[in-house]
Amino acid sequence: MTTTPYSTPYAEEHDLFRKTVRDFAEKELAPHVDEWEEAKIFPRSVFERAGELGILGAHYSEDVGGAGGDFWFAVVASEELPRCNAAGVTMGLLVQAAMATPAIADLATDEQKKEFLEPAIRGEKIAALGVSEPGAGSDVAGLRTTAIVDGDDYVINGSKTYITNGTQADFVTLMVKTNPDAGHNGISILLCPTDVKGFAVSKKLEKLGNWSSDTAELFFEDVRIPRRYLLGKEGMGFMYLMQNFQSERVVGCTSGLAGAKMALDRSVQWGRERQAFGKPLIKREYWQQKLVDLYAKYEAAHALTYRAAEAYNNEKHVKKSPISMETTRLISMAKAYVGDVTGEIMDECLQFHGGMGYLEELWVARAWRDARLLRIGGGTTEVMRYATARIMGF
C-alpha cells in the first residue's frame, strides 16, 4: 500500500489509514471536483466527512480526539488527498489538519483545545491560518495587524490576505503584533473566532490555480476577543510560527510530489496510446530521455523530502523536542527543491500533451496551474534558499 518500492517508515496502521484516505479522495471527492472548481469553493460537508473518517487528526493525541499517531499519518494524508484531482481541495483540508492547528495542539490550554482544536479535528469548525498581509508575506516580521490589550480583551485592527479557507472559517489562528515597537519579539498568536463584531471577509480572491479552495482577504476593525484566546506566551509568536511552518512545508512537499508523480504516470500512459508519425509518442527518444530525467528528479526530491520528514518526526513525535536548525535546513532545502522539480514536471507533462494540454478540458491544465503555488505558498523558493544559506553560515 505504500507509495514507494523501497523501505519506508510505514507500519500496518499507516497502510490502513492510506486506504481510508485514498478511498475518500477517489470515491467521495473526485466525482465532485469539477463542480467545486467551477464554484470556486468546496462545501463544509467535506470537512465534516474528513473528520468522521479521522483524516483531520490522525497525528494528534487521543485526548483531543485524534488517533495518537505520528507525523507520518499527516504525510500519508497529504500523499493520498491529491487523488481527488483538485489541489484546492487538498490544500483546504491540509490547512485544517497540518497548518492552522499544530500550534494549538502544541500550545493551547485544555479550554482552548476543547473550544478550537477538538471541533476542528471533528470537522465541525473550519480553521484558517492568518499570517500573510498585503504588505507582509514571507517577511513575517513585517506584519502590521495589531492586538492591543484593553482590560480583559485584545482589540485587533488590521487585515490578512491569501487566507485559505478564509470565507468559511469559524476561527483563525492569527498572527498579530501585541507590541508594535518590539519587532519580531512583539508578535503573538491569538485564536480569533470569526463570528465577532468587527470581523469581515473583505474580498474573496480569484486565483490562477487551486480554484476549489476559497481564499480571502480578512479585515479586523476594533475586534474584541478575550485575553484567554492568547496562544502560548505573549511575544513568542514569531518563534512559535517558525516551528509551525515546518510541518506546513513538509506536507506541502509531499502533496506536491504526489501530484507530480500522478502527472508523470498519467502522461506515460497517454504517451503509450498517442500515435505520432507512425508510432506511440512514448517511443520517441527525446521523450524517453526527458521522462527518465523527470522520474529521476522526482526520486531525488522524494528522498530529500522523506529525510526531512523523518527528522521532523523524530524530533516532534519521538523526542518531543523543538525542531532543530538542522531539521529546518533539510525542510527548507526540500521546499525549494521540490517546488522547482514539481514545476518542471508539470510543465513538461503539459508540453508532452501538445495542444491538448493547453485545453481546460484535460486534467493536465489544472495540474499545471495548481502546482505553481508550491514555489510561493508557505515561504517562497527564494526565501527558502536564503534561510538555508543563513543556517549554513553562508
User: Which residues are the active-site residues?
Assistant: 248
Residue identified by cell 528522498 is 303
Q: Which helix (H) or strand (E) holds 230?
A: strand 230-231
CB 267 within 8 A of CB 280: no
C-alpha cell at 171: 476561527
- Contact residues for 187 (Cβ-Cβ < 8 A; gap 6+): 140, 141, 143, 175, 176, 177, 178, 235, 237, 238, 241
Residue identified by cell 500550534 is 103
Spatial CA neighbour of 377 closest among 92, 32, 124, 68 = 92
* CA distance to 58, 121, 189, per residue, from 70 (Å): 8, 15, 25
CB 121 within 8 A of CB 108: no
Using CA atoms, how far apart are residues 361 and 41, in angstroms rounded to an integer? 19
Using CA atoms, how far apart are residues 38 and 42, in angstroms rounded to an integer? 10
Spatial CA neighbour of 169 closest among 210, 125, 217 = 125
Return left, alpha or beta for 159; rule: phi > 0 is left, psi -120 to 50 is alpha, else beta. Answer: beta
Burial class (CB within 10 angstroms; exposed 0-12, middle 13-18, buried 19+) of 74: buried
